[in-house]
Structure 1
Amino acid sequence: MRVFVAGATGAIGRQLVPRLVGAGHEVHGMTRRESKQAMLRELGAVPVVADALDPDQVAEAVGRARPDVIVHQLTAIAALDMRHFDRDFAVTNRLRIEGTDHLLSAGQAVGVRRFVAQGVAGYGAYARTGAPIKTEEDPLDPAPAREMRQTLAAIRHLEQAVLGARWTEGIVLRYGAFYGPGTSMAPGGQQPELIRQRKFPLVGDGGGVWSFIHVADAAEATVAAVEHGSRGVYNVVDDHPAPVAEWLPALAQELGARKPMRVPRLIGRLFAGEAGVVMMTELRGASNAKAKRELGWHPAHPSWRHGLAAA
C-alpha cells in the first residue's frame, strides 16, 4: 500500500517509517522542514515538505502522493511545565484540530481507505472515576483539570473527526506515556533529569495510574493498524499499568538517584499546578486487551519495569 505519514520525523515517525518500508509499503513522509528530507530518505520514505497548518499545502502534498492510508502523528511538544499544560501543548492542540481537519479533507479528496491517528490514553484522558484501568468503552474525562481543558478538547476533536469520517476506516490509537529513543523519558531527557535532581516528587499518595509504551512497540501497533485495523479506538499501552508510587521510586533507583521526596497535594499544587496533582494522584491506566485481540499485536516490552531499565 501507499502510506502517507504526517509527522514522519517525530519520535514515533522515526520508528514507524522504516517498519512500514520493511513491510513492503511505499511511504511518503511529511515534514515541515526542508532540512529533514535527508533523514526521511535514509528511513526509506519519499520526502514531502508541507506545513500541516496550511490546508493548501496539505491538499497538494496528499494529492501528489495519492495514498491508500494516511497516518496522523503530528505533535509539537518540547519541554512541559505542568503549571502551564495547555500553553505548552498549544501548537500540538492546533495540529490535533486544524491539522486533523486538513488531513481528513485532503484524504477524502483522493479516496483514502484508512485514516490512522495518534490519540492519548495518558495524562488525564480517561474519566477519573470508577475502575483504575480503563477500556476503550470508558468515557473520556468530562471535567479535566483547568490547565488541561484545551488539550482534552483537542483530543476530543481529533477522535470525533476521525471516527465520524464515514467515507474511510477511521482509527484512533490511544498511546500510553512514551519512553525510548527521542522521548522525554530517554536517557538525558527531561523526566530522568528531573528525577535525578529530586525535582520530580511523589505527590500525595501517588495513586495516579500510568500506562507506558515503548515507542518501538507503539510503532509496531501502528503498522498493524495500517494493515488490518478496523474503525474504532485502540489503547496502545503495555501490560502493566502502575501507580506513580510504584514506578517513580523504581525508576529513581534504576537511575541511581535518591528516593523521590514525598509532598502533600497542597504543596504539589504550588509547583505542578492542578494538572500535575491530577497526574500524580488521580490518573487512570488503560487496558491493551482489545489491541492484542484485534490487531494481533503484543508489546516486545510488556512491562515498564524492564523496558525503562533497558532504555
Structure 2
Amino acid sequence: MRVFVAGGAGVLGRRLVPQLLARGHQVTATTTSAAKLDLLERQGADAVVMNGLDAGSVARAVADARPDVIVHQMTGISLTHGGKPDLKHFDRWSVPTIRLRTEGTDHLLAAAEDNGVAHFVAQGYANWNGIRQGGWVKTEEDPLDLHEGTAAHTSMVALRHVEEVVGKAGGAVMRYGAFYGPSATDDQVELVRKRQFPLVGRGTGYASWIHLDDAASATVLAVEQQARGVFNIVDDEPAPASQWLPYLAACAGAKPPMRIPTWLARPLAGKVVVVMMTEGRGFSNAKAKRELGWELRYPSWRQGFREGLA
C-alpha cells in the first residue's frame, strides 16, 4: 500500500517507517524540518516538509502522495517544538501537541476525504490517564479521565477529540503507553540519575509502558488490516510507580529514588504529577493482541529497561 506517515521523523515515526518499508509498502513520510529529509530518504521513504497546522500544506502533501492510508503521528513534545518537559505547567507545555491533535487531525481528515483515502490511523495515549474509578487497569471500554481541574485537562480533551473524529471517519486510534526505547526516555533517565525524579507518596499510581518497536509493529498491523476503533497499545505489565521507578533507577545505575509526601509534591511539581504517581490507572492490551494478532518483542518494561540501559 501507499502509506502517508505524518510525523515520520518523530521518535515513533523513525521506528515505524522502516517497519512499513520492510513489509513492502511505499511510504511518504513528513517532517517539519528540511534538515530531516535526508534521514527519511536514507530509510527509503519519499520525504516531504509539511506543516500539520497549515491546512494548505497538508492538502498539498496528501494530494501529491496519493496514499491508500494516512498514519497521524504528529506531536509537539520534542525540545524543538515543546521545549523541556514541564509537567507542572502541563497545559502550557502541551500546546503544540494539543493543536496537532485538534487542528492537525482535522486537516489530515479533510485531506483524506478530499483525496479518497480509504483508511486513517491516529496516535492516541494510554499511560496513566484511565478513569480514576474502580480497578487499576482499564480496557478500551473504560473512558479516559479528562482530569478536570488540573493542567492536564486541555490535553485530555484533545485526546477525546482525536478518538471522536477518527472514530466517525471509520479509522483506528492507537492509544500508546509511555514510550521507551531509542531517544524516548533520555530526559527521564537523566533526572533519575541525578535523583531529581522522586516517588510521590506511596507511588500507588499505575502506568503503562510500550517499547517504540512494539508500538510500531502494532501500527503496521492496524494499517494492513484496516483496523477500526480504539486499541490500547501497551505492554503486558501495567505497574505502580513504586515498582517501575526504582527498577528504572537500578537499570540506569542510579541510587534509589527519593520519596516525598504528596503535600510537598503538589506545590513543587504540580497536581498532575501527584495524580500520575498516586492515582494513575494503567491499561490492558488484550484487545490489540486478540483482534490484531499483535505479538510483543518486549512484553514487560522490566526486560526493555534492562536491555536498553545495559
| CA distance in structure 2 between the partners assigned to 1:218 and 1:249 by the alignment | 24
Q: Which runs of 5+ in 2 are unaligned?
A: none
Match of 2:152 among 148, 151, 167: 148
Aligned residue-pair number: 303
Instruction: Check the 8 A contact 2:198/2:257 in 1, yes or no.
Output: yes
| Shift, 1:16, TM fit | 0.5
Instruction: Check the 8 A contact 1:229/1:295 in 2, yes or no.
Output: no
Greater mean deviation of Cα atoms: 100-109 or 252-261? 252-261
| CA distance in structure 1 between the partners assigned to 2:182 and 2:252 by the alignment | 16
2:116 aligned residue: 111
Structure 2 residue 268 is matched with structure 1 residue 268: no
Instruction: Check the 8 A contact 1:209/1:284 in 2, yes or no.
Output: yes
| Shift, 1:229, TM fit | 4.0
Name the amino acid aligned to 1:269: R
| CA distance in structure 1 between the partners assigned to 2:251 and 2:35 by the alignment | 36
| CA distance in structure 1 between the partners assigned to 2:223 and 2:124 by the alignment | 15
| CA distance in structure 1 between the partners assigned to 2:148 and 2:234 by the alignment | 21
Match of 1:80 among 38, 63, 85: 85
Structure 2 residue 138 is matched with structure 1 residue 134: yes
Match of 2:127 among 122, 126, 135: 122
Instruction: Check the 8 A contact 2:19/2:217 in 1, yes or no.
Output: yes
| Shift, 1:123, TM fit | 4.0
| CA distance in structure 1 between the partners assigned to 2:273 and 2:56 by the alignment | 38
Provide the aligned C-alpha RMSD in A. Answer: 1.0
2:256 aligned residue: 259
| CA distance in structure 2 between the partners assigned to 1:229 and 1:267 by the alignment | 48
SS in 2 for 1:82: coil
Greater mean deviation of Cα atoms: 194-203 or 135-144? 135-144
| CA distance in structure 2 between the partners assigned to 1:198 and 1:129 by the alignment | 32
1:197 aligned residue: 194
Instruction: Check the 8 A contact 1:119/1:155 in 2, yes or no.
Output: yes
2:171 aligned residue: 170
SS in 1 for 2:270: helix
Q: Which runs of 5+ in 1 are unaligned?
A: none
2:236 aligned residue: 239
| Shift, 1:275, TM fit | 0.3
Structure 2 residue 19 is matched with structure 1 residue 44: no
SS in 2 for 1:146: coil
Q: Moved runs in structure 1, 4+ residues, more than 3 A?
A: 142-145
| CA distance in structure 2 between the partners assigned to 1:202 and 1:261 by the alignment | 6
2:23 aligned residue: 23
Q: TM-score, normalised by structure 2?
A: 0.96
Structure 2 residue 102 is matched with structure 1 residue 97: yes
- The superposition leaves residues 79-109 of structure 1 with CA deviations (integer Å, 9 ceiling, x where unpaired) of 2111111111110100000000000000011
Name the amino acid aligned to 1:141: D
